[in-house]
Amino acid sequence: MSALLLLQVEAASPDGVVQGGWDYVVAAYAISAAVFFFYAVTVVVRLRRAKDVQ
């Protein structure tokens, strides 16, 4: 019985290579780009407001 369990564990062990993960990579880059874009917009708005106050 333990030999059968060992075979099942070996068959289920990953080989270290992710298959088909590009959707997650593209999504992560898209989210990061959106965050950086909105941050840049807020920085520009704050700088323009600071110049108007002076």
Counting residues of the chain whose pLDDT is more than 90, the rounded percentage is 54
State residue 21's pLDDT score.
Answer: 87
State the first-to-last Cα distance of the chain, in angstroms, to the nearest integer: 81
Residues of the chain with pLDDT below 50 are: none
* CB-based burial label for 36 (10 Å; 0-12, 13-18, 19+): exposed
Residues in CB range of 48: below 8 A, 6 or more apart: none
Domain residues for the domain of 28 are: 2-53
Instruction: State how many domains the chain has.
Output: 1
Instruction: Please give the model's pTM, rounded to 2 decimal places.
Output: 0.60
**What is the DSSP secondary structure assignment for residue 20, as one 8-state letter?**
S
CA distance 39 to 46: 11
